[in-house]
Structures are given as C-alpha cells and as structure tokens.
Amino acid sequence: MRKAILIAMIFALAFSTMQVYSVKAPETLIWSGNVYSSGVTTTGPVLDAFIQYRVVAYEVFYYSRPSYLAADAQYYTTDPIHDWTWYNHFPAPGGHSFLQIDEEDVDWGPFSNGVWQDGGHEYSIYYEGTGAQITFRIVDWIDGDYTNNSCHLPVEIYELPLETGYTPGFWKHNIGVYLGYNRGAYSAFRDGTKLTAALLEMYAATVGVTLEDAYAAVSARGNREGQAQIRADMANAFNAAAGYGPFIDED
C-alpha cells in the first residue's frame, strides 16, 4: 500500500507540470486570421513543439490594384482579372512564395484556379510546431511596391488528430530495456521509428520523472489501490511526450 501511494504521489507531481493530449477524431480549427498585402506581419498562436498542424491559405490579393493584377499564396497572373478564374499564371519569381511563414518561403504546391467556394486558390501544407508563435507575411516579389496593393489572404490553422498511443506494457518493456531489467531490443513505433535510450531520456525529462520511477509506475500490479490507473496515467504521460494520444484499453 505504501508503495502504491508513493508511486501515485510521484506521478501526480510530474503530471501536474505537463500537457496531456486527447484524441481528436477530425481536424480541429484552432486559429484563423488575415494576412494583409501591405507587407505587415500577422502573428498567429504558439504551436506546440514537434506537433504537426495543417496550415491553409486561400483567396487572392492584388499586387497592383489599379491594373487588377492579382496573386495568391504561390502564383500570380499578368492578365487583369475581375473574377477568380485566371487565364494565365506563373510561380512567384526566384523560387519564392508570396505568402511566407516565419520569414521563410513555403512551397504551397501546384496551382489552384477558380472560385474559392470550389477550392480555387486554396493551398495547404503540414507544419511542425516549434514551441513559438507562427508568423505570416505577404511579400510583393513583383514590384516591391506595397502602396498599390490591396486585399488579404485568409489563413487557417488546424490541429491534427493524434495517433492512438501505446500501452503500459509497451513502455514497461522499453524502459526496462533501458534500465537493464528486460532482455531484448527496443521496440519500434508504428511508423518504423525505433526507440532509443536518448528518446526515453527526453520523454522522461518532458514528463518530469526518472526512468526508474516511470518503470515503477507502469509496473504497478493488480487493480487494488488504483494501480491500473497509475499504469495508464504514466503510459499516457509518455505517449503525450512522444506526440501520441492516449492508448485505448480494449479489455
């Protein structure tokens, strides 16, 4: 009983300092904003490090409003337009993009034409968070004159659903290998990435426990005194640190 209480106290202390992710079936819109053709920077939210998001940009802006010359996130036209369908298009000069993220060019993919309601001029990329705020900026690579620009590009950021995490037994085996308690090799994640000592040390540091304490938690025996919950909580803390959602107990 005293051991179970000690394990619970260790985990409660660590758990209070970290974020635990929940499984989200669809993508979740977490931010939307406008990036203006005046060249000013639009600052988005802080995006968690190592977590992948989808960034969507759509519509067009005028890089020469008096001449009705337009561009989108990646392409521009030299044919004056009065609707969303372009009759010619070219990539931004010099391999650049008109819409930048974090002051860097982005490959927004192949050209998308037509009205926005049908997906015209809509582009998306996957972006890995850095633990800092994401920024957006329109750069006028055509004439560099922002005084004749007009309109903006709407941008949305979606949080992706997290893959189901791994069981207490998975983490017990691998932490046990690290500690020399278990024979065998480290396991691999579903994508083929193999666990290493360095990864386990990083996850333990993120959770805020030693690997010895983590092993004790995922090894808690039986269902008395809340041991099953202790095992699940520690496993899901490591799942979150590795970028996964909670494991699903199918029993």
CATH code for the domain in which residue 147 is found = 2.60.120
Ranges of the chain whose pLDDT falls below 50: 1-25, 250-251
Q: State the residue range of the domain holding 91.
A: 28-159
Helix (H, G, I), strand (E, B) or coil at 233: helix
Residue 181 covered by a domain:
yes
147 and 197 in one domain?
no
Residue 250 covered by a domain:
no
194 and 99 in one domain?
no
Q: Which of 238, 189, 180 is nearest to 209 (CA)?
A: 238
CA distance linking residue 11 with residue 16, whole number of Å: 8
12 and 55 in one domain?
no
Which of 105, 137, 159 is where one domain is finished?
A: 159
Residue 155 covered by a domain:
yes
> pTM of the predicted model, to two decimals?
0.62
130 and 220 in one domain?
no
131 and 81 in one domain?
yes
pLDDT digits (tens, 9 = 90+) for 138-194: 999 999 999 999 999 999 999 887 788 888 999 999 999 999 998 889 999 888 899
Please tell me the predicted confidence (pLDDT) of residue 25.
47
Residue 109 covered by a domain:
yes
Residue 247 covered by a domain:
no
171 and 224 in one domain?
yes
Which of 125, 159, 193 is where one domain is finished?
A: 159
7 and 120 in one domain?
no
Residue 173 covered by a domain:
yes
91 and 12 in one domain?
no
Q: Which of 242, 228, 232, 234 is nearest to 187 (CA)?
A: 242
201 and 129 in one domain?
no
CA distance linking residue 161 with residue 232, whole number of Å: 20
Q: Buried b vs exposed e over 20-58: b needs ≥16 C-beta within 10 Å?
A: ebeeeeeeeeeeebebbbeeeebebeebbeebebebbbb
55 and 131 in one domain?
yes
Helix (H) or strand (E) holding 4: helix 2-15
50 and 102 in one domain?
yes
Residue 183 covered by a domain:
yes
153 and 187 in one domain?
no
CA distance linking residue 155 with residue 33, whole number of Å: 5
Number of domains in the chain: 2
Residue 251 covered by a domain:
no
Which of 99, 127, 159 is where one domain is finished?
A: 159
Helix (H) or strand (E) holding 177: helix 168-179
